[in-house]
A and B are shown apart, each in its own frame.
Chain A
Amino acid sequence: MNVSYRWLSEYIDLNGIEPQRLAELLTRGGIEIDAVQSRNQGVSKTVVGYVKHKEKHPDADKLNVCTVDAGLGEDLQIVCGAPNVAAGQKVPVALVGAKLPGDLSIKKTKLRGVESQGMICSARELGINDKLLPKELQEGILVLPADTPVGTDILEVLGLDDAVLELDLTPNRSDCLSLLGVAYEASALTGRPLTLPEPEKELYATADKTTDHVGVAVEARDLCSHYAARYIKGVKIGPSPLWLQNRLIAAGIRPISNVVDITNFVMLEYGQPLHAFDAAKVAGGRIGVRLAREGETLVTLDGQTRKLEPHMLLITDAEKPIALAGVMGGLNSEVSDDTVDIVLESARFDGGSVRKTSRQLGLRSEASARFEKEVDPSRVRGALDRAAALMARYAGGVVTEGVAEEIVSAPEPAVVEVALDRVNGLLGTSLSTLEVKTIFSRLQFPAAEVADGAWRVTVPTRRGDMRRDVDLIEEIARLHGYDEIPTTRIEGPTTTGALTKSQAIRRELRRLLAEAGLYEAVSYSVTSPANAALFPELSGGESVRPIPLAMPMSEERSVLRTSLLPNLAEAAVYNQARRTHDVALFEIAGVFHSEEAALTTLPHEKPRLAFLLTGNRRAAAWNRTAEPVDFFDAKGVLEAMFARLGLADSVTYEAAQPEGFHPGRTAALKLQSAQGGETIGYVGQLHPDLQREYGLGDTYVAELDLAPLYARADAQIAYRTLPRFPATERDLAVVVDAGTAGGDLVKAIRSAAGELLESARVFDVYTGERLGAGKKSVALALVYRHAERTLTDEEVAEAQQRAIQKLEQSFGAELRK
């Protein structure tokens, strides 16, 4: 909503309150002003001139030499290139010494040898948005009405000595979609009185009755609470007066003709949209309000054929739809230059219905924007009468007597009770009875004091947003000033702030991964269906399909992500494209799975952790060569994580071949419990095909569910006394089949060697020709210890022998000597 400062000052005295100050007051009061624009874009010394003669320029085909009376006593000779300039016109003349927008200075000059003492201006040259002007005025000079007085300052004539306040309204303040609403607000904030437009006393110059010409029948009674129509006879369609056009232009609305301009003017003034029908095109003179029927269509004013749906509200005549109620008129009943009689509509349509229709058709209009937010029921008649009177005055019409109307229901003003205790209790203020009473009176809310410090407030219908006491309390607070509310501390019992276990774990993991040399990524939760299908084992398995958005903005963001890995892979590509080749990223976020083909319940939102390593673990430096990342970097990160969560011994790694991963370099992560192993994720190399598609080198990734870790993480530290007796260390090297898992050897040794074995770890793996094809040598370091005494050589030898035998039996291992 754009509000002209000058127009507003017709309803409230703004003397001493400059536009900027007014904007500040309104903004601090809750009506946010986005900008204050001066309508004068830099025009000076420009006046109305009368073109007395026009002659062709002797030396230029496209130029004319005009003799112009600009009220200076002496005529001016002005050379003008506009094709539409003609003798007898009133035009804007920039005098010698004038300034025009764009830092243009007008000087006495010669054009092809002919002296020119000024410039005849177009609207654009005067800084007026000429999109708001009729086409003929966009192309040449601005032709002013014939009765414009010569010599008058153009700023005054075009209303340019004005400022426009651009309102950014919150949805509750649709009352300010009208000049009157803004005036009420300004009055409440400044305490200055209002001057409202006087209702017309003598509207009718005829005894002719409206109801003889037009009848109204509201069928859709839920969606139209009030429909009123007037009949205006014998209008002469033409341009509206300049002052009225100026008002519309200031508000950003294009002047069209007197009748249409008046409906728009009154809409801006009252906030009540009006519509004018050509009475000759309203069959039977019968206006109906009903829902559309299946298969009906209507060509709207913009020339588009609209397919109507049965929930859409229509205005009809005796035969056909003639308008989409509250949204846009029909082309078939449009006011044209030939229109003689007018049916003028002022009505109140259901906001939700208008909203639904306008959204569905993609048709937002000034009218629909107001109806959507519910118009003030008390202004339906006032606006109608105001417009009828203006049409009588400016379109030469005769208003017939009475109104054809149907009032289905007349909303009563809301009555809201509010008590001072509650006001001060909720705000933390110590307002007095008098202060609150003063605020109500500034708002012009009649308030009856029903008890000491308790009021029954009758809220005018223009403020439909006042429904409960808290609404009034906000009015009190904002008029009192939010700055005046004190600053206090919450009273009552203290509370303890703490993270939950899962929140604390998440923070710990982030810290650990950052310290392990990975950067945290944040990527979008929506992705492409192709991405969502890359890692089925991580995406909920066969039965789960990605969940689509109903109306995606693009294919790339059309389904909820099922895995974090595609995003990380894309981030790696993004970085490598920018010459960052070593990428180590992790992300902690949710993925979305559902078993339902069509969602009826919320999907599973699984907290996940994923990371990606590619390029070098460490870049080459003066003292070391580059080391490319490998599987064991990724696994090492996981081991560190599980160790931090107290789960080092609970997670095992089993070779696995999930889709999207390298079949020989991938492990399933199994969280072991008494019930067995649960797969919580995978770690491995991206499948080489996928790497090639992404254009990535060897890339190692992991993704796992966090919920099982949250459940199982063990923060309890159980201290064990330090050993008092020495350990005995024994190394062991065996030759086994190349396919034998080192982890299985360790497991076997652990079970065979018994309690004396403290630890066993692989410290070397070797393959070579000497061992023969398909064989490898694994060297292990075993540590034996007894908590209570020093072990004897015999005890150790015996345990070691058991371990060896077990390896020989289970794996066909051959001891290397």
Chain B
Amino acid sequence: MKDRLEALRSEALAQLQEVADPGRLNDLRVHYLGKKGQLTEVLRGMGGLSAEERPVIGQVANEVRAAIEIVIQSKQAEFERADTARRLAAETIDVSLPGKAPAPGGIHPLTKVTQEIEDIFLGMGYTVAEGPEVETDYFNFEALNLPKNHPARDMQDSFYLTEEILLRTHTSPVQIRTMQGAGGKTPLKVICPGKVYRRDDDDATHSFMFHQIEGLVVGPNIRMSDLKGTLLQFVQQMYGPQVQIRLRPSFFPFTEPSAEVDVTCTQCGGHGCRMCKHTGWIEILGCGMVHPKVLEHGGYDPREVSGFAFGMGVERIALLKYDIDDIRHFYNNDLRFLSQFARM
């Protein structure tokens, strides 16, 4: 009987080796291990065995069953794997086709530059102050040491609404409003971004509406060297640590001394190129020590405190930063233009 069992094992294993499809595998399982299968058939003869032989044969029979089952299981797993592989192969897609991105959008390049500048100054302990775009002559001019009929008013041709009310020509009135609002408190450190308006014919480099960012610091011992230090820190954060600044004497009615500030040309690194007209320098802002009269209008005693102020045109910074050829692009809202700035 033992021999019959061993023969059954060899026969079953040999046949299982040959199996190529799950149906045949099932047939063989039924044929060998089923209720009416070969193994059961053999074991039916167990009744004729002695009590000593029975456990021995029983063990052999179990071993044979286990061996066959293991092979069947492994065959089954093999068929399942092949089946899965076939199914996945059928699911193959073309990964080179475009994805379903969320619709792209973005903030305006002028906002981007403004926020970048704001962030640099926020990091330096400044707050952001804002004021009205429609201003009084007092805040826009008089309080800034620009009395009526002063020739310096020619520097900024204005859009008046009435004799006393106009579209602000610069963000400087926010200086006065901020100082007056501070009630003599020091130190005062603010930047003031916003739209400004000047009666100018629009062309590639001029726009009647543009954006400025103004900075103001007032405190007990503010020096022109602090102004230089602040501006250097700013431009190095904005354009990189290799950038230097150069101050040239200039004139603004609301600062004394006054300066124009040039930075190392970002395009050529100061060697001279088309962008910097071969000077190696690019003018980016105006600045100076707050004029005593302006401090007085702001409610400060110029003998007690001093201050510095600076102002820059956001469009100019953006034109240079992105090498844009025409300022009017900023206001046309052409999506082919705007979409170029939608990245970090």
Interface positions of A (Cβ within 8 A of B): 27-30, 32, 170-174, 351-352, 355-356, 372-373, 425-429, 468, 470-471, 473-474, 477-478, 482-483, 485-500, 503, 507, 510-511, 513-526, 547-553, 557, 560, 571, 574-575, 578, 580, 583-585, 589-590, 592, 598-600, 602-603, 605, 617-618, 621-624
Contacts and interface: CB of A to CB of B under 8 A. Distances in A.
A171 B154 contact: yes
Nearest to A475: B257
Please report whether the interface of chain B is mostly helix, strand, loop or mixed according to DSSP: mixed
Q: Name, among B159, B225, B250, B258, the residue most crowded by chain A CB atoms within 10 Å (CB to CB).
A: B225
A477 B249 contact: yes
A585 B333 contact: yes
Contact of A470 (B230, B232, B257): B257
A470 B289 contact: yes
A477 B289 CA distance: 12
B159 A549 contact: yes
Contacts of A520: 106-108, 111, 338
Contacts of A519: 105-106, 108, 333, 335, 338-339, 342
A496 B125 contact: yes
Question: 4 shortest A-B CB distances, which residue pairs?
Answer: A428-B225, A517-B103, A30-B249, A170-B251
A574 B125 CA distance: 42
B107 A550 contact: no
Interface centre among B118, B128, B223, B232 (most CB of A within 10 A): B223
Interface in B302-344: 306, 330-336, 338-339, 342
Contacts of B197: 525-526
Contacts of B154: 171
Nearest to A507: B115
Contacts of A598: 162
Given A519-B106, A548-B161, A617-B103, A491 B221 contact: yes
Interface in B251-275: 251, 256-259
14 contacts: A30-B248, A171-B154, A425-B223, A427-B225, A470-B256, A470-B291, A474-B258, A486-B228, A490-B226, A491-B221, A492-B219, A497-B122, A519-B333, A602-B132
B136 A602 contact: yes
B107 A171 contact: no
B71 interface: no
B151 A493 contact: no
Contacts of A352: 148-149
Contacts of B123: 497
Interface of B: 97-98, 100, 102-108, 110-111, 115, 118, 121-128, 130, 132-136, 148-152, 154-155, 159-162, 165, 167, 187, 189, 195, 197, 199, 201, 208-209, 217, 219-226, 228-230, 232, 246-251, 256-259, 289, 291-292, 306, 330-336, 338-339, 342
A580 B335 contact: yes
Contacts of B189: 495, 497
B161 A372 contact: no
A500 B128 CA distance: 8
A22 to B, nearest CB: 16
B160 A517 contact: no
Contacts of A553: 199, 201, 208
A584 B232 contact: no
Contact of B334 (A548, A552, A578, A602): A578
A498 B191 CA distance: 11
Contacts of B338: 519-521
A583 B335 contact: yes
A394 B279 CA distance: 45
Nearest to B98: A621
B98 A551 contact: no
